[in-house]
């Protein structure tokens, strides 16, 4: 069965190809059902492969399926090969699972859109690319998927491309990601140079056995991290992600929260041994960047008014948490949080989509309020998502976040404090969102006319096809923590499953204060979550404290604006300078020489026009002179 | 009647060609002669039977294309040397011969030349003076074909120069407003370069007289048995390199290209980008590296630097263009920079990638020019600012543009990526810092193309663009051929790579045997 792992990306590819050819003929809603069916089949195959691997002894759970030789030149032999092992199958499971749910949801959400079939075409191609990314046996196959998801993300962000902001956001995402891609490409160059291969196995083994220099290992690690910063929206390249919310909400949930943006975390986990064997400052850098991004983005989220932008900054922040885990050596914890985050963040995004849908495309939370009455299912599931992300026990997010914080405490206490502050802020801004959207006074009637509603404006609950995915994700957000419970080694299901591939990290922290007192940390984390919620309730529900939403946070610390100003100012000036240089100086010299030649030519042959002849004369003269020089040097004797 | 006889003659030739027992059939000579015969036919009876002109031109270029495809299937991938060799004395007193042959380096350029011309002739109308236009096109095809199969320096030079004439007239006769300026500029630049090469060719033959034993212009004899002093080799290399640098074009002798491309008719632009520029990069490899190994090793830092400047400079200039065609032209400067970088990096991967990229660039940029030509046909403008929202009114057209654009950006899975990736990964050990900087060209490619796409295709179409017509059937068929090549080579490049690589390896061994250069061995580098 593991040999059939190629079927996993095959089905969404087929779905995409069918929709390219006949999408508009298949039409709504069948195009959506077809795409959903393909993704679901892919999920079924993945589950089968999972059980197949589970039935094998742990050390044999790694299957390479080579489809064909892809780029073989000399020493460089790159196969188009897929790898089925616990790590890739874990990724594939949650990717296909969440994709299926979101495909289903999108059938309802995209109802009536003139480009309905095209949407599912892109969505299927995205799933295909994402699966290539996670199943790749070497860096290049992963890079194929990496660029493929980038392209699909571009198509989908600018899906409503007649809107200028959507078109700009799509381009911004692609170009920013490309900066990261520079890192991934260069990492492959270093790997080939030092290891002679770009396959994960060869690179990881070379790192572990010390057959390559630590400088090369560290270069590979750092360059891949540059790529991860682009794809997973970390500082300093995070700024494309909030703008990516221009895409339809299912896209935000699938690509820009649950799957694609976690690709960087996955990539670094895949090359875990490389990170471990690097100079110590390399993982430290990753941890610091992760912590800084987590705090930075969380601080911005407290002052956003757009329902989706709050979630976007929250995603950036949570991804920062995962990088903090990676940098602290806690790969399993990073994977754990990636999966639980996929559950609750997809849930929150889909919930916000349901709200937007029911509010006739209103996204400003200041015009919402009291929606729990109008949309009970959406409200209920959203509240579960909120509890999960806020870190309230026993919801999924609590366990994964706590596990990360445990390792961070053992690694670096300062970063632990940063993590705790971020956790506090997370609970705070998510509570703020829930209160603004679902509780308090209904503010939507004030803006009813804006929505084209005559008289009474009534937000409505979404159709069943959208609610089923919400309920399923809500269940996962409640129970997801069960895959890795801290109480005993036996309950570390995820770690035991991943162990042959991902290094067990627990050994590294054994004997530290954090390890011995992990229940203290557990309680501290719960207290912090509750404090955040309480503060937010005091501010937004009880109105005991005035709101603190400074402009600087609303404008994201002016980071994006500064980058835009730099690109539009000095950046554009350099580009204009080069272009003018080309037109005036380089080409000017040519035209100057041209008119000079024409002048001379006119002297030589006055009556003739056209400088071809003149130039031919000059050239012949030059040729003769050169030949004469050769003769003079005696070379032609 | 004439045509009937001619068609019958062709049939005999094809029959002869497909019969593998007749190995002596001079297939490469046929590749050069068939388009010439076609040109003769177009000029002679086309005057009396104008309705058959296009058919005659098309059939002769289709036959050439078919012959080139036959060569492709008959080519022996295991043989690194020259195949289908045909050698006849031409001017024995000077050691000049009609020496033709192809190896893995020229094979795909021949095939590209073979299939690009019929596509352009079938797919793009000149709008006026069809007869001379078609005749020039066919002469151009013969000249380009001849350049890629010549193994005699003098013969190569003749073909190299012949190419200028039809291109000059195509730009000057069927181009846009500034066509005369552009055509002249193109002609003068290349002529100036050629003058250096002519001197170089003559001097190489004469200076090698003692080591070879006679005066000869035969490339293989000169490269294999000739020996030049270091100084001589370097000077002569520079003479050749100047000629080819203009053709490529390399910074700073590139400024003829944007003008020529912009002003040329669509068919001319496609051919110019598709195959003409490759005569420069091919020349650098075949006549630069092969004839002057020592000088090639010596000149590497300079050429790397010019190549990387070209990559970044071309991309930056492309970003700021307001004319869509000029944008594509500047993107060529950037793409060709990658090829030059690969050529002189002197590793199997880099040169193989470079050869592959010559073909890839021909396909993707050729297709881009076709698309821009189609936009011009509909809107009579190439200015980005006047176009808007085309994806909304012509989604299929936009889809084709998107695929071609992504190929040009270098998306893995499409052809452009394979070439660029091989160049960069292969050059990393020999030109490390240039590669690290040059890789940023990949970022910039996304910037200039996506920005242009956004302005032209996204947004709400205004009144002038409301009526933009969707892709027509003929256009769709034409572009589908390009897209098929783009996807196939991107997903499965092995058939191409396995034919290119042996010849490249042989070339590098040639360099290693004559210099102290040694290929880096990956995996043992340490750091």
Q: Are B222 and B136 a contacting pair, CB within 8 Å?
A: no
Sign of torsion, CA B410 B412 B417 B423?
positive
* pTM for this entry: 0.92
Across the interface, of A158, A216, A619, the residue whose CB is closest to B192 is A619
B501–A73 C-beta distance less than 8 A = yes
Query: What is the nearest CA distance from A543 to chain B, expressed in angstroms?
Result: 43
As for the ipTM of the complex, it is 0.92
Which of B460, B523, B526 to substitute to test the interface with A, most A CBs within 10 Å? B523
Query: What is the nearest CA distance from B503 to chain A, expressed in angstroms?
Result: 12
Name chain B contacts of A143, Cβ cutoff 8 Å: 412
Query: What is the nearest CA distance from A179 to chain B, expressed in angstroms?
Result: 6
Across the interface, of A73, A195, A611, the residue whose CB is closest to B497 is A73
Residue-wise pLDDT for A357-408, tens only, equals 888 888 999 888 889 888 999 999 999 999 999 999 889 999 999 999 999 9
Token digits for A411? 């690694």
DSSP-based three-state secondary structure for A453: coil
Q: Beta strand pairing status for B83-91 and A76-84?
A: unpaired
Cα dihedral B329, B332, B333, B336, rounded to 10, equals -160
Q: Kindly write down the DSSP assignment for every residue of A15-73, as one continuous string.
A: HHHHHHHHHHHH-TTHHHHHHHHHHHHHHHHHHHHHHHHHTS-GGG--EEEEEEEEEEE
Query: What is the nearest CA distance from B179 to chain A, expressed in angstroms?
Result: 14
Distance CA B317, CA B340 (A): 19
Per residue, what are the HEC states of B97-135? EEEEEECHHHHHHHHHHHHHHHHHHHHCCCCCCHHHHHH
Q: Are B338 and B423 a contacting pair, CB within 8 Å?
A: yes
A185–B439 C-beta distance less than 8 A = yes
By the CB < 8 Å criterion, does A75 face chain B? yes
B446–A175 C-beta distance less than 8 A = yes
Burial of A627 (0-12, 13-18, 19+ CB in 10 A): middle
Name chain A contacts of B413, Cβ cutoff 8 Å: 144, 147-148
Q: What's B88's DSSP letter?
A: E
User: Closest Cα partner for A215 from A149, A150, A282?
Assistant: A282
B184–A143 C-beta distance less than 8 A = no
- Cα–Cα separations (whole angstroms), residue B526 to A195, A211, B297, B523: 8, 8, 23, 7
User: Closest Cα partner for B153 from B240, B247, B276?
Assistant: B240
By the CB < 8 Å criterion, does A421 face chain B? no
Across the interface, of B418, B428, B451, the residue whose CB is closest to A189 is B428
Q: Are A142 and A9 a contacting pair, CB within 8 Å?
A: no
Residue that the structure tokens 């937000």 belong to: A459
B412–A140 C-beta distance less than 8 A = yes
Interval A477-489 mean pLDDT: 89
Q: Which residue in A has a C-alpha nearest to residue B187's C-alpha? A: A612
Q: What's B150's DSSP letter?
A: B
Q: Kindly write down the DSSP assignment for every residue of B476-520, as one continuous string.
A: HHHHHHHHHHHHHHHH--HHHHHHHHHHHHHHHHHHHHHSS----
Name chain A contacts of B341, Cβ cutoff 8 Å: none
Tell whether omega for the bond before A394 is within 30 degrees of 0, i.e. cis: yes
pLDDT confidence of A607, banded at 50, 70, 90?
very low
Q: Which residue in A has a C-alpha nearest to residue B508's C-alpha? A: A74
Query: What is the nearest CA distance from A611 to chain B, expressed in angstroms?
Result: 8
B459–A161 C-beta distance less than 8 A = yes
Name chain B contacts of A76, Cβ cutoff 8 Å: 348-349, 422, 425-426, 522
Distance CA A579, CA B325 (A): 15
Task: Say what the pLDDT of residue A408 is.
Answer: 93
Q: Which residue in A has a C-alpha nearest to residue B327's C-alpha? A: A579
Burial of B463 (0-12, 13-18, 19+ CB in 10 A): exposed
Q: Which residue in B has a C-alpha nearest to residue A220's C-alpha? A: B527
B425–A189 C-beta distance less than 8 A = yes
B413–A196 C-beta distance less than 8 A = no
Task: Say what the pLDDT of residue B125 is.
Answer: 86
Distance CA B101, CA A172 (A): 49
Token digits for A344? 């609750």
Residue that the structure tokens 């589970």 belong to: A54
By the CB < 8 Å criterion, does A209 face chain B? no
By the CB < 8 Å criterion, does A548 face chain B? no
Residue-wise pLDDT for A611-627, tens only, equals 555 555 556 666 666 66
Sign of torsion, CA B54 B60 B64 B70?
positive
Interchain CB contacts (distance < 8 Å): A and B: 199
A162–B352 C-beta distance less than 8 A = no
- Cα–Cα separations (whole angstroms), residue A103 to A109, A344, A363, B110: 10, 17, 22, 47
Residue-wise pLDDT for A329-371, tens only, equals 999 999 999 999 999 999 999 999 999 988 888 899 988 888 9
* First-last CA distance in chain B: 71
Across the interface, of A72, A171, A578, the residue whose CB is closest to B451 is A171
B389–A181 C-beta distance less than 8 A = no
Which of A73, A129, A222, A567 to substitute to test the interface with B, most B CBs within 10 Å? A73
Across the interface, of A72, A75, A578, the residue whose CB is closest to B522 is A75
Task: Say what the pLDDT of residue A618 is.
Answer: 59
Tens-binned pLDDT, residue by residue, of chain B (527 aa): 445 555 555 554 554 444 444 456 789 999 999 999 999 999 887 778 888 888 899 999 999 999 999 999 999 999 999 999 999 988 888 889 999 999 999 999 999 999 999 999 998 888 888 889 999 999 999 999 999 999 999 999 999 999 988 999 999 999 988 888 888 888 888 888 888 999 999 999 999 988 888 889 999 999 999 889 999 999 999 999 999 999 999 988 998 999 999 999 999 999 999 999 999 999 999 999 999 999 999 999 999 999 999 999 999 999 999 999 999 999 999 999 999 999 999 999 999 999 999 999 999 999 999 999 999 999 999 999 999 999 999 999 999 999 999 999 999 999 999 999 999 999 999 999 999 999 999 999 999 999 999 999 999 999 889 989 999 999 999 999 999 999 999 999 999 999 999 999 999 999 999 999 998 888 764 44
By the CB < 8 Å criterion, does A487 face chain B? no
Name chain B contacts of A619, Cβ cutoff 8 Å: 191-192, 195
Interval A416-440 mean pLDDT: 95
CB atoms closer than 10 angstroms to residue A445: 15
Task: Say what the pLDDT of residue A512 is.
Answer: 82
pLDDT confidence of A456, banded at 50, 70, 90?
low
Residue-wise pLDDT for A7-52, tens only, equals 999 999 999 999 999 988 998 889 999 999 999 999 999 999 999 9
Across the interface, of B185, B254, B422, the residue whose CB is closest to A71 is B422
- Cα–Cα separations (whole angstroms), residue A515 to A246, A399, B60, B376, B485: 43, 15, 81, 70, 58
Task: Say what the pLDDT of residue A499 is.
Answer: 85
Name chain B contacts of A70, Cβ cutoff 8 Å: 492-494
Interval A54-80 mean pLDDT: 92
Query: What is the nearest CA distance from A275 to chain B, expressed in angstroms?
Result: 16
Name chain B contacts of A594, Cβ cutoff 8 Å: 185, 188
Residue-wise pLDDT for A185-244, tens only, equals 999 999 999 999 999 999 999 999 989 999 999 999 999 999 999 999 998 999 999 999
């Amino acid at each position: 069965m593991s040999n059939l792992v190629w079927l996993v990306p095959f089905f969404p590819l087929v779905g995409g190809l069918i929709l390219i050819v006949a999408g508009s003929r298949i039409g709504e809603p069948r195009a959506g059902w077809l795409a959903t069916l393909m993704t679901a089949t892919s999920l079924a195959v993945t589950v089968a492969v999972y059980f197949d691997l589970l039935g094998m002894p742990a050390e044999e759970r790694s299957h390479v399926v080579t489809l064909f030789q892809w780029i073989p030149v000399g020493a460089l032999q790159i196969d188009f090969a897929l790898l089925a092992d616990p790590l890739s199958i874990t990724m594939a499971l949650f990717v296909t699972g969440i994709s299926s749910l979101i495909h289903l949801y999108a059938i309802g959400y995209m109802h009536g859109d003139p480009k309905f079939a095209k949407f599912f075409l892109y969505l299927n191609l995205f799933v295909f690319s994402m699966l290539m990314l996670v199943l790749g046996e070497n860096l290049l196959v992963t890079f194929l998927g990496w660029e493929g998801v980038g392209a699909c993300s571009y198509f989908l962000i600018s899906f409503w491309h007649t809107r200028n902001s959507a078109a700009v956001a799509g381009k911004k995402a692609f170009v920013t990601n490309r900066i990261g891609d520079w890192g991934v490409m260069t990492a492959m160059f270093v790997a080939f140079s030092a290891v002679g291969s770009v396959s994960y196995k060869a690179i990881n083994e070379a790192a572990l056995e010390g057959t390559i220099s630590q400088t090369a290992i560290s270069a590979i690690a750092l360059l891949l991290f540059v790529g991860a910063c682009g794809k997973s929206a970390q500082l300093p390249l995070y700024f494309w992600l909030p703008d990516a919310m221009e895409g339809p909400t299912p896209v935000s949930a699938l690509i820009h929260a649950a799957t694609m943006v976690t690709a960087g975390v996955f990539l670094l986990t895949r090359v875990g041994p490389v990170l471990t064997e690097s100079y110590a400052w390399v993982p430290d850098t990753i941890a610091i960047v992760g912590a800084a991004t987590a705090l930075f983005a969380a601080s911005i989220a407290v002052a956003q008014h757009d329902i989706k932008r709050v979630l976007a900054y929250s995603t950036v922040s949570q991804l920062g948490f995962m990088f903090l885990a990676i940098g602290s050596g806690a790969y399993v914890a990073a994977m754990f949080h990636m999966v639980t985050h996929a559950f609750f963040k997809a849930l929150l995004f889909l919930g916000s989509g349901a709200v937007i849908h029911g509010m006739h495309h209103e996204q400003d939370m200041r015009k919402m309020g009291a929606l729990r009455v109008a949309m009970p299912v959406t409200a209920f599931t959203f509240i579960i998502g909120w509890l999960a992300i806020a870190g309230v026990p026993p919801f999924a997010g609590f366990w994964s976040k706590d596990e990360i914080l445990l390792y961070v405490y053992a690694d670096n206490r300062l970063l632990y404090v940063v993590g705790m502050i971020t956790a506090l802020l997370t609970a705070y801004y998510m509570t703020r969102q829930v209160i603004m959207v679902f509780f308090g006074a209904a503010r939507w009637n004030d803006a009813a006319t804006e929505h084209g509603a005559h008289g009474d404006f009534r937000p409505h609950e979404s159709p069943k096809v959208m609610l089923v995915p919400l309920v399923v994700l809500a269940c996962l957000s409640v129970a997801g923590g069960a895959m890795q419970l801290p109480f005993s080694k036996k309950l570390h299901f995820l770690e035991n499953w991943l162990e042959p591939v991902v290094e067990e990290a627990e050994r590294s922290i054994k004997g530290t204060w954090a390890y011995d007192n992990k229940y203290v940390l557990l309680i501290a984390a719960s207290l912090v979550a509750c404090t955040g919620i309480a503060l937010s309730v005091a501010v937004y529900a009880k109105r005991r404290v005035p709101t603190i939403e400074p402009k600087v946070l609303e404008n994201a610390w002016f980071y994006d604006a500064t980058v835009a100003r730099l690109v539009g100012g000095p950046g554009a000036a350099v580009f204009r300078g080069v272009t003018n240089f080309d037109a005036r100086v380089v080409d000017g010299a040519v035209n100057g020489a041209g008119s000079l030649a024409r002048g001379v030519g006119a002297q030589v042959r006055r009556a003739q026009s056209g400088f071809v002849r003149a130039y031919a004369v000059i050239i012949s003269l030059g040729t003769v002179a050169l030949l004469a020089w050769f003769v003079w040097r005696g070379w032609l004797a | 009647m004439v045509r009937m006889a001619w068609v019958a003659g062709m049939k005999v030739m094809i029959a002869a060609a497909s019969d593998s027992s007749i190995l002596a059939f001079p297939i490469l000579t046929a590749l050069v002669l068939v388009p010439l015969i076609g040109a003769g036919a177009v000029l002679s009876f086309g005057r009396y039977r104008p309705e058959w002109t296009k058919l005659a031109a098309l059939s002769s270029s289709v036959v050439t294309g078919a012959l080139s495809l036959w060569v492709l299937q008959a080519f022996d991938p295991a043989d690194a040397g020259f195949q289908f060799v045909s050698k006849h004395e031409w001017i024995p007193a000077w050691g000049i011969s009609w020496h033709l042959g192809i190896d893995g380096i020229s094979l795909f350029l021949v095939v590209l030349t073979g299939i690009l011309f019929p596509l352009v002739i079938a797919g793009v109308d000149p709008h006026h003076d069809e007869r001379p236009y078609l005749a020039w096109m066919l002469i151009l095809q013969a000249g380009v074909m001849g350049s890629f199969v010549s193994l005699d320096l003098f013969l190569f030079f003749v073909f190299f120069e012949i190419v200028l004439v039809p291109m000059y007239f195509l730009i000057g006769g069927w181009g846009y407003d500034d066509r005369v300026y552009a055509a002249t500029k193109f002609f003068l630049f290349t002529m100036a370069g050629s003058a250096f090469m002519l001197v170089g060719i003559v001097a190489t033959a004469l200076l090698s007289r003692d080591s070879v034993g006679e005066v000869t212009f035969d490339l293989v004899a000169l490269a294999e048995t000739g020996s030049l002093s270091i100084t001589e080799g370097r000077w002569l290399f520079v003479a050749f390199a100047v000629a080819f640098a203009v053709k490529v074009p390399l910074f700073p002798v590139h400024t003829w290209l944007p003008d020529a491309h912009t002003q040329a008719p669509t068919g001319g632009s496609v051919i110019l980008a598709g195959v003409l520029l490759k005569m420069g990069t091919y020349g650098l490899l075949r006549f630069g590296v092969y004839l002057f190994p020592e000088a090639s090793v010596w000149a590497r830092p300079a050429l790397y630097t010019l190549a990387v400047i070209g990559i970044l400079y071309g991309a930056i200039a492309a970003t700021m263009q307001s004319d869509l065609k000029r944008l594509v032209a500047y993107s060529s400067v950037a793409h060709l920079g990658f090829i030059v970088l690969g050529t002189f990096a002197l590793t199997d991967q880099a040169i193989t990638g470079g050869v592959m990229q010559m073909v890839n660039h021909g396909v993707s940029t050729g297709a881009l020019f076709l698309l821009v030509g189609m936009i011009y046909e509909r809107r009579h403008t190439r200015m980005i600012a006047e176009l808007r929202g085309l994806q909304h009114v012509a989604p299929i057209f936009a889809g084709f543009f998107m695929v071609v654009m992504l190929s040009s950006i270098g998306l893995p899975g499409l052809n452009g990526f394979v070439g660029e990736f091989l160049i960069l990964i292969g050059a990393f050990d020999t030109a490390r810092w240039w590669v690290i900087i040059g890789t940023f060209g990949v970022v910039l490619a996304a910037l200039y193309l996506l920005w242009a796409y956004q302005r032209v295709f996204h947004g709400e179409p205004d009144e002038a663009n409301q009526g933009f017509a969707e892709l027509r059937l003929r256009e769709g068929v034409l572009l589908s051929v390009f897209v098929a090549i783009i996807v196939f080579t991107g997903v499965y490049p092995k058939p191409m790579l396995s034919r290119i690589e042996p010849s490249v390896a042989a070339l590098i061994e040639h360099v290693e045997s004559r210099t102290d250069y040694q290929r880096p061995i990956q995996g043992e580098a340490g750091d």
